[in-house]
Amino acid sequence: MINEFIITQTNPKTGFIDLGMGNPDLRLLPLDALRQSAEAYFASGDTRPLQYGAEQGDGYFRAALADCLSQAYRNSVNPKHLFVTSGASSALDLLCALYTHPGEVIFVEEPTYFLALRIFNDHGLKIIPISMDEHGLCLEELDELLAQYRPKFLYTIPTFQNPSGRTLTQARREELIARARRDNFFIVADEVYQLLPYSRTLPVPFAAFAQDVEQVISVNSFSKILAPGLRLGWIQAHEHIIERLAGSGFLDSGGGMNPFTSALVRELIESGGLEANIAHLRREYARRLKVMDAALRLHLPGAEYAIPQGGFFFWIHLPGVDTEKLRENAKQYKVDFRQGELFSSRRAMREYIRLSFAYYAPEEIEEGVKRLGACLRC
């Protein structure tokens, strides 16, 4: 449907509280910090970022990003192993375009990020789900499936998974990498929530293995730590993968992705603005997470969930509830959520819902959960 005057992708209806929104709050998007970075960039008089860019992405930007990631991961990141993308979605799409053919098998977690499923479907891939428990992907099930299939890659969101909030343990990460090397499939690790922990120390990211192990590809983005509208992200990978990506026809024709935005974000990284923004987000989201947890205990006493330790989401089991029907009824209460089935490649998870604490302020979160509680009781 063509709508001429719409700016944002999702727009909750007036008066509605859509707790399903996985987007950052508009009030948390860093206009002032970006204004300062833009002013510094424009004052430089450098017109090169307005030219077609280097295929791998702006080298100065990659150097700044590598420094910043080395500190955050406490592990040396080499700019040679970084490749600039227009966000995690474009990274997934490009990886599929270059490394898969229609009909080939990939493995995903069950549940998984529903819009990644859309990208994989666009490429005609055969999607095989693997169950998770509270420690992430189940390796026994992976082993059974590896005996039957030769997947091109396994797509995982290892840290604060969307939607389940779970984090894959260190031991399982290492076992997974051992299997990928043995059976020669890629691990495409979508690590977009890695830099948003609120209350725990994290296992080593897959990014830390990606430079040396050809089978490990880490995908990341500025969408959750700065602003989705920048459409800026990166891949960290082995040099063979970087060469293949940078050598694609798409980049030969159009040049590297987002050189202009990269120049602005480079300023922001070098001035310490990114780090400050991440610290601010972590404080703010930690506060909202607590508010949502308290509201759930009060208004949805039958809900079963693990308290997330980072990221954006609560993954909630409502035993005996058909969440498709609940969503229909929720319209009357002017509240919305994402029903579990969306995140299931086998159309299961019908008793689950995903709520996000990123989009709304604490009072709105409380009100939204209260409305949901009233709807559940009706």
Binding site for ligand PLP (CB under 6 A): 22, 87-89, 113, 157, 162, 190, 192, 221, 223, 228, 233
- Joined tokens for residue 61: 């930007």
Q: Angle at which helices 362-377 and 273-299 pack, to 10 degrees?
A: 30
CB of 70 to ligand PLP, least distance (A): 21
Q: Please, which residues bridge with residue 336 across strands? A: 18
Please say which residue, 162 or 277, places its beta carbon nearer to ligand PLP. 162
First to last CA, the chain: 34
Pairing of strands 313-317, 352-356: antiparallel
Please say which residue, 56 or 300, places its beta carbon nearer to ligand PLP. 56
Contact (Cβ atoms closer than 8 angstroms) between residue 189 and residue 218: yes
CB of 357 to ligand PLP, least distance (A): 14
- Joined tokens for residue 228: 């989705």
CB of 223 to ligand PLP, least distance (A): 3
Sign of the alpha-carbon torsion through 223, 234, 72, 192: positive
Please say which residue, 160 or 185, places its beta carbon nearer to ligand PLP. 160
Please say which residue, 188 or 318, places its beta carbon nearer to ligand PLP. 188
CB of 171 to ligand PLP, least distance (A): 22
CB of 265 to ligand PLP, least distance (A): 13
CB of 144 to ligand PLP, least distance (A): 25
151 phi/psi in degrees, rounded to 5: -70, 150
Please say which residue, 305 or 359, places its beta carbon nearer to ligand PLP. 359
The CB density around residue 150, as the number of other CB atoms within 10 Å, is: 10
Please say which residue, 22 or 79, places its beta carbon nearer to ligand PLP. 22
CB of 102 to ligand PLP, least distance (A): 22
CB neighbour list of residue 280: distance below 8 Å, 6 or more residues apart: 28
Q: Which amino acid is at 190?
A: D
Please say which residue, 55 or 190, places its beta carbon nearer to ligand PLP. 190
CB neighbour list of residue 105: distance below 8 Å, 6 or more residues apart: 125, 126, 128, 149, 150, 151, 152
Cα–Cα distances in angstroms (integers) from residue 104 to residues 114, 124, 153, 180, in the given order: 19, 8, 10, 17
Q: Angle at which helices 362-377 and 323-330 pack, to 10 degrees?
A: 110
